[in-house]
Structure 1
């Protein structure tokens, strides 16, 4: 450790350049990862937050809630098999306006039974056919409890009974209303079909496999989330960007450490001539790299948190402890991988050649 810190102190400019390069790369990865998580939540947080494990969905709906229809007769069969675990869900995207102005907002209605676990928190048993619970993103538009809004298509007016945090679907805020209230704003085609879109359940995989109702299938919540329009494509693109950045970081750091190691060959040769072992030199090099990586990581995390505070509320961005911890672990490994070529050169250095005595 002494040799590693001494070398960093003596080569301040070189060490600073390594820190700057690593900081910028890690900062970019953290920002893209936070953006990916934020976009993912804005696309699917309402489904992810549901305390369920599976959905019963129409077999040919491609695992998409909006395409599915579960008829009333099928719903009764499901209730007979699963009893109180059954939680019907209806979904429809629409546009609302405030009666006091003409500003329009795209939303997604979730028609639910407020006595089930699908009810948003805090649970409001007093919700009726004319009141709703809405996502708290509406607060930015000036909505408060007791305010009213109008469904653009039907003209139906609802009163806001309460707010719930972080509930969105397909990049639109979610409005929770009762199943009877949902009928007031449902499109004519949905009204003719009757029934519900899907049935949410909290059951085991074994119980899920026992469903035997013609035209229906059981899928996991994770599968439903992936099939939300745009979710898979959006996350796939951002994940690919992160993977490329990590790959580029590995090559950049490997080249950087290798060049630095080549410049110090004579010094390593002298140390070997004085009796330093490969193990001692390798330990010193790895400690130096880890130390620089940790400094870069700390600066990057602080920069990312600072920038996150400056981002507008309309930009979805979210950093969680598991996400940040995972990226930190990845970059520690990347830094160590980038040092492998340098370690190989240190192991192979010949003391006599390194100090210029090979031709004597």
Structure 2
């Protein structure tokens, strides 16, 4: 330990340059990780925030809400098996709205839930939708940037229906579109207006269920024309979700590999430059294990310092990002990313450790003398 720290103090410029490279790479890894998490959450926030374990969807719908249609009979059957308090109807529809009196069009996702049910999100401003509320909706607060306020009337471009924004919710979106929550009654009227209903019956996109795996199996057996879809599968089936995350995860994986390669090359070159010194140390009795621990300690110290600085920088940048920027880096993800980066850095230093074990003391000293 003494040798490793003393060497870093002596060659400040050399290790400072290595630290700068590590800082840049670690910052890029953290930023891409936060962007990946932010995009994933923005794409499926409303579904992920729901207190549901499974969704009942139409068979052969590929687990997609937009392709699924389930009726009131399925709702009643699932309630008799899982308990009426554990099932909630859910309507999902993409549409375009415009604030009354303006020509600006906004893409939103309509989510129909029971006003007093457990799918209804917490209201951050305004008032919640009641069972007697007619024409009132809750809008994601990102719509404020488009000029939508409490009491603003929005018009559905597909059906011509008009609703009034009675309150706002936070962090509710689907397929990167802000969510607008409406009551079952308004959903029923919209479906009938769009001629999607049959014989006046209400058709939903899915049925949310809070239950265990055993009861989910019973539901699957009792509903042969429906599919019981886990929440994670429903999220993964959102259009573009897997492709978007796959691209970002590949970028992150390449960054990890690049960081390991860069550090391996840096420390390998430094090790070669110190070959004669290592030979002298071995000749006077210094063990190979001691020298290997010194290299590992140098990498660990550089990792700790650069990661701490990187975390401070990424939090500062996060605070400066605009509100609409999909960036999300939870403490657990931050810790996992830092741990993975440190692991890759230590793995990259193994090449230098291997080189140290191969150094022959007499040969190294002779090479130095020559």
TM-score of the aligned structures, taking structure 1 as reference length: 0.95
Deviation at 1:185? 2.8
- Mapping of residues 208-287 of structure 1, within 5 Å: 208-211=216-219, 212-287=222-297
SS of 2:80's equivalent? helix
Counterpart in the other structure of 1:153: 158
* Residues 357 and 75 of structure 1, relative CA distance in 2, 3 Å threshold: closer
SS at match of 2:203: coil
Q: 2:111 matched to 1:116? A: no
1:33/1:357 CA distance change after superposition, 3 Å: closer
In the aligned structure 2, how far is the partner of 1:357 from the partner of 1:148?
84
Query: Counterpart in 1 of 2:211?
Result: 203
Shift of 1:177: 0.7
Q: Distance in 1 between matches of 2:265 and 2:253?
A: 19
**Offset of residue 45 of structure 1:** 0.4
1:353 matched residue in structure 2: 363
Deviation, 1:357, is 6.8
Residue 306 of structure 2 corresponds to 296
CA separation of 1:132 and 1:314: change in aligned 2, threshold 3 A: same
In structure 2, distance between residues paired with 1:219 and 1:246: 34
Which piece of structure 1 moves more, 107-116 or 144-153?
144-153
- Distance in 1 (alpha carbons) for counterparts of 2:367 and 2:262: 33
Could you list the runs of 5+ residues in structure 2 that have no partner in the other structure?
Answer: none
Aligned with 2:204: secondary structure? coil
Of 41-50 and 299-308, the range deviating more from structure 2: 299-308
| Residue deviations 1:240-261 (CA, integer Å, cap 9, x gap) | 1111111122122111111111
DSSP-derived class of the 2:56 partner = strand
Decide whether the 8 Å contact of 1:151 with 1:185 is kept in 2.
no
Aligned alpha-carbon RMSD (Å): 1.9
Deviation of 1:189 after TM superposition, in Å, equals: 4.3
What number of residue pairs does the alignment pair up?
360
Correspondence list, 1:104-183, <5 A: 104-122=105-123, 124=128, 126=130, 128-183=133-188
Who is 1:98 aligned against? 99
Q: What is residue 318 of structure 1 aligned with on the other side?
A: 328
Cα distance in 1 for partners of 2:368, 2:177 equals 72
Q: Which residue of 2 aligns with 1:190?
A: 196
Per-residue deviation at 1:153?
2.5
**Cα distance change, pair 30–189 in 1 and its aligned pair in 2 (3 A):** farther
2: CA distance between counterparts of 1:144 and 1:178? 19
- The question of whether the paired residues in 2 share the 8 Å contact of 1:352 and 1:358 is answered with no
Distance in 1, matches of 2:70 and 2:160, equals 27
- Unaligned 5+ residue runs, structure 1? none
In structure 2, relative to structure 1, the CA distance for the partners of 1:260 and 1:146 (3 Å cut) is: same
1:166-194 per-position Cα deviation (integer Å, ceiling 9, x unaligned): 00001101111101011233362422373
